[in-house]
Amino acid sequence: MEEAILLNELEFKAVRSSGPGGQHANKTATKVELSFDVQASEALSEPEKERIIRKLASRINKEGILKMSSEESRSQHTNREIVIQNFIEELKKALKRSKPRKKTKPTKASRIKRLKAKKKKSEIKANRKDPLK
């Protein structure tokens, strides 16, 4: 993944932000929407593209375009920086390979602790029974 090429492939669109803000929010387009065509990207290898499509499927539309947006700030410039940062973090997270889990056996102490807890629970339930029956 080449970050410099990746940033050149991004498309931005500024739209009006929702929520409170009065006159400022009504006349300025501060929300920034980021679009990224995963399939057409030259910064990503084919395996990386497949991995991103699989991991970020909920954010990718039918045309194969990854969409993200930010409206945290009242400033368009700040929202643009935030959405770029979030985009890069999401890509890195999607491309990171998870370590395979190593199988481990429960320790002797944990087995004994579990059996003691079971025995105690059993005694509590046994004491609930009516002794006359």
Let me know if residue 59 belongs to a domain: yes
Q: Which of 14-23, 46-55, 89-98, 112-121 has the highest mean pLDDT?
A: 112-121
Let me know if residue 78 belongs to a domain: yes
pLDDT band at 51 (very low <50, low <70, confident <90, very high): very high
| Mean pLDDT of all residues in 55-84 | 91
Let me know if residue 112 belongs to a domain: no
Q: Which residue range forms the structural domain that includes residue 42? A: 3-95
Inter-residue contact 60 to 100 (CB < 8 Å): no
pLDDT for the residue numbered 75: 87
Inter-residue contact 100 to 91 (CB < 8 Å): no
Let me know if residue 121 belongs to a domain: no
Domain total of the chain: 1
Let me know if residue 103 belongs to a domain: no
Whichever domain contains 27, its CATH number is: 3.30.160.20
Let me know if residue 67 belongs to a domain: yes
Let me know if residue 87 belongs to a domain: yes
